[in-house]
Homo-oligomer: A and B are copies of this chain.
Amino acid sequence: MNEQQRARRPGGRSARVAAEVHRAVTELISERGYGSFTVGEVAARAGVADSSIYRRWGGLETLLTDVALSRLNAQSPMPDTGSLAGDLRTYAAQVAREITGPDGLVLVRLAVALSTNGEQGLRARDDLRDERTRQLQSMLDRSRDRGEPAPDALTVLDHVLAPMYIRVLFGMGPLTPQYVDDLVDRLL
């Protein structure tokens, strides 16, 4: 069990600290946006020592991606419906709901903030992307294991996720269920 898994074990001081720190980050993001607060401010609000944050996460960039991933994984876990079309439709609908929500576009905002934040920011952005891509890939692999032909993860990103992100970013919503299904059908 690594440090992060231990931190997520229900109960225990470590888990409580992680929960408090995540809550503090989420509040600070919604109050000020990304890139407008420090590790010290997160620590103060969470009621923990700065050193606890540095020890567990290494720095603000890694902490931000950890919070974003936890949220994404809770809001849009990879579905397992038994068919690729079902999985992709369910996943696309989840993402559409998530990014059109009150504080949607977390991934896009965070990626923009991290990309302008030096080497450490870029590494954190890459970790975030790789983790989500890996999850998407497992869903596609399950489908291939069942003998269904499946597109690769990057093609799903290009033609299902990217259009939804860009439409929301530029205020071209709402993403209707019909539109979202059409993106998946066009891909398959």
Contacts and interface: CB of A to CB of B under 8 A. Distances in A.
A contacts with B: majority SS: helix
Interface string A135-171: 0000000000000000000100111011101110111
Contacts of A105: 112, 115
Contact of A163 (B126, B129, B162): B162
Contacts of A170: 111, 125, 129
Contacts of A109: 112, 116
Interface in A89-129: 105, 108-109, 111-112, 115-116, 122, 125-126, 129
Interface of A: 33, 105, 108-109, 111-112, 115-116, 122, 125-126, 129, 154, 157-159, 161-163, 165-167, 169-172, 183
